[in-house]
Amino acid sequence: MKKLYPVLFLFFFLVSGTLKSQISQGGTPVSFHSNSLKKDIDIRNIPAPDMETIMMEDMENDGFGKAYRIGIIIPVNLNPQNSGTWETLSNGDLLWRLQINMPGAEASNLLFDRFVLPPGAKLFVYTPDQTFTIGAFTEFNNHESGLMATQMIPGGSSVVELYMPKNQEFSYELEITEVGYNYRSTGFKVQEKDLSCMVNVKCPEGNNWADQIRGAAKAQIRIGSYWFLCSGSLVTTTTNSCQPYFLLADHCTYDNAYATAANMNQWVFNFNYQASNCTGTTGPTTQSMTGCTMKAHDTYGQNSQGSDFYLVLMNNSVPTTYQVYYNGWSKSTTAATSGVGIHHPEGVIKKISTYSTSLQNYTTHWRVVWAQTTTNRSVTAQGSSGSPIFDQNKLIVGTLTGGGSFCDAPADPDYYGKFSYHWASNGTTNAKQLKPWLDPNNSNPTTKTGVNYNACSSSSVEEIVAPNLNLNVFPNPATDVVNVSFENYYFENGTVRIYDILGNMVSQVVVSQYQNEIPLSVKHLSNGVYFIQCSNSEHSFSKSFMISK
């Protein structure tokens, strides 16, 4: 995604989503602490793609600044009925394990087109040596589409483990239909190109940018049968709603065609992937989310026209435990005098690049030359595309299209699509502008400061609780089950969600057809105050209740 040549034309409720994000619940796989399980389980070997052809294609595409491919998506047909090893535990619960091998892969991930788990079920994915684990994924990851994707884990071998409570063996759906063969810039191995001049965000250069750093993230982007790499940032709205809008570059999302809506439901975003000190080389990889919808973009990736922006809305709220920052922005046309860029070059831990001379102004883009700083002269690389550049006031003023800067050419310039052009200059419709999405109240400010994850406005979902549309929640207090019903309203084609007092979604049920009462299991929840929210295209209802066991 990093171009190799200059381009001049270049409360209590969190936001409601349409697809449950890939937020793991933590915990440890059952097999890690059981000595009675089988040592040998079913292994399926997946042939590697034709890497010679892939690498030749990449050499050509990288030279022309196209989307930066990092992986191949390979079709498979794996499920607990046709593969894997089942075992019955001493208490009657069930365990299914399957090892998937893809020789030569730098990292791998799994893609599901059916992912439906009952209460109490847990799915983990880990390396065979048990040194790297993601999960648990549970019923909270269910959605009517059935789609789900995991983040990458290192190496070409992974074990998927499904724990099922007894008597639940027929109440799930699990289909692994594709696997990701990721072969470069995964962040798990030494990168292909020299990144020795890059500066960690935990170096002195990042000391004054701690908030902005928390808003930047890495994006693993699916387009058709391939994975691509990009960087980007959460951006705030004028209402401080903390809706998870994520801004990146249009060319990150185009490879002979744009990513489809289904593709985007499997995009993976990694937050806080950064070293804990200035010299570190690794960082935590557990804070990830899956899925988004496109809201607005230009056509830069397709025809090099516009300012190269792409705005998505993540399918769920970012968990409060991620402690993110929704970056502010400026649509001023006056060139910034100094600032930084924050990015993930070639998928490695988060880096910061500094400039100390004014940006040069072109119609659609800013031109920047990076400065020598105390630590080094950090630049950008492939995978940095889409990342934000900030002005001296710590506001986003552009997104990276590309340029010529590398560690061996630190004085070559880079080019960032102007936020001011993104705002309303790429077209007259909502699908071509940032303004309708980031300024819903039409206040039209020139600048907007960022907002911290714990300082959001009350609710980003319009809540309508009228006397003739009354929502009933019973019993209250509840113990194992809470029921939802309505007076004088037929609720259907919507979603019922339960949130805890901190605004974290802890349960959801999709309602297709009208039911007199909608039962929700709460036996897995602790005592305390919770909130039920029922939303469809017509209305949103909410009400509090208690759990007392």
23 vs 4: CA distance, rounded Å: 36
> What length does the chain have?
549
379 vs 3: CA distance, rounded Å: 13
Place of tokens 């920047």: 368
383 vs 69: CA distance, rounded Å: 9
Cβ within 8 Å of residue 130, ≥6 positions away? 32
Which of 177, 251, 257, 252 shows the shortest CA–CA distance to 224? 257
| CA-CA-CA-CA torsion sign (167, 159, 270, 62) | negative
The DSSP secondary-structure symbol of 205 reads G
Question: 392: how many CB neighbours lie within 10 A of its CB?
Answer: 14
Q: Is 308 a catalytic residue?
A: yes
Question: 462: how many CB neighbours lie within 10 A of its CB?
Answer: 9
Q: Is 307 a catalytic residue?
A: no
Are 419 and 329 within 8 A, CB to CB? yes
3-state class of 524 per DSSP? coil
478-499 in b/e burial notation, b at 16+ Cβ within 10 A? beeebebebeebebeebbbbbb
What distances in angstroms separate CA 51 from CA 55, 151, 184, 414, one per listed residue?
Answer: 6, 22, 11, 30
Q: Is 524 a catalytic residue?
A: no
ω into 75 cis (within 30 of 0): no
Question: Which one is catalytic: 143, 251, 343, 365?
Answer: 251
Question: Which one is catalytic: 298, 308, 391, 439?
Answer: 308
Alpha helices in 206-309 (DSSP H): 210-215, 261-264, 300-303
Question: Which one is catalytic: 385, 405, 459, 542?
Answer: 385
Question: What would the DSSP string read from start to end of 355-397?
Answer: E-SPPEE-SSEEEE-PPP-SS------TT-TT-EEE-TTS-EE
Tokens standing for residue 230: 């990009």
Which of 322, 462, 311 shows the shortest CA–CA distance to 21? 322
Catalytic residues, by residue number, are 251, 308, 385
